[in-house]
A and B are shown apart, each in its own frame.
Chain A
């Protein structure tokens, strides 16, 4: 996790295109200027960043399902719960699931766990639209590579299909 760059996801642990789910690992850094103010002597990952972590996992899932041909922007967070403190050095595993893929928006559910214990959960609405800038798509594709996003899947013959031929939603 590189907080200063808003790079929350460290690794994709699992991707299920049929179930439309993604599991990610998000490691809270041991050191960050954020912890100097939040809070002195009692460093905690800010709750808004837990929502960001869930939103990014939802977003990467949706981008992958859409074959990275559309961008997803956070529109709303519903029923958000911050259940316990998250501290430096902990790893948050986020499970994201696509609930509904609408026209120009998508609704997803996400939950974060530390060592199996639920620490946060929310329903996330993402607005989707064509990429507003080509470099943004390039950046997200490089991010996908960095976090180990599986970019091919078995086709009907059991062989890996190239990214451009996927159509799961």
Chain B
């Protein structure tokens, strides 16, 4: 998880021009870091590429819009990294 977080944090810092030290595992990508949906596409692209996965953004968005999940579950970075680790594990299973 820690190396996943470092990779994700570096991607966010570089993509969105956010100081790396402002990005913590408890940061909410939208509420705390101010990342909008367009910037998140660039982040998703970089994450997909870095980890060889496909973040299910559409599914997550639908779940949030339908009230089945909260944004915290997917967009607080420690939770996002846990999802990424799950996707990596599923890929190699």
Partner-B contacts on A (CB < 8 A): 75-76, 100, 102-105, 107, 125, 127
Contact = CB atoms under 8 A, between A and B. Distances in A.
Nearest to B60: A103
Contacts of B49: 100
Main secondary structure of the interface of B (DSSP, over half): helix
Contact of B48 (A75, A76, A102, A125): A102
A39 B38 CA distance: 34
B42 A125 contact: yes
A103 B60 CA distance: 10
Given A103-B54, A104-B61, A105-B41, 19 more contacts: A75-B38, A75-B41, A76-B38, A76-B41, A100-B45, A100-B48, A100-B49, A102-B41, A102-B44, A102-B48, A102-B57, A103-B57, A103-B58, A104-B57, A104-B58, A105-B45, A105-B57, A125-B41, A125-B45
Given A107-B45, A125-B45, A102 B55 contact: yes
A104 B44 CA distance: 10
Query: Could you say which of B38, B41, B57 has the most chain A C-beta atoms within 10 Å of its C-beta?
Result: B41
B54 A102 contact: yes
Interface in B22-78: 38, 41-42, 44-45, 48-49, 54-59, 61
Contacts of B44: 102-103, 105
Shortest Cβ-Cβ A-B pairs, 8 listed: A104-B58, A103-B57, A105-B41, A103-B58, A104-B57, A103-B56, A107-B45, A102-B48
Contacts of B58: 103-104
Main secondary structure of the interface of A (DSSP, over half): strand
Interface residues of B, number: 14
Contacts of B55: 102-103
Contacts of B54: 102-103
A107 B42 CA distance: 9
Nearest to A107: B45
A103 B59 contact: yes
A109 to B, nearest CB: 13
Given A103-B54, A103-B56, A127 B41 contact: yes
Nearest to A130: B58
A107 B49 CA distance: 11
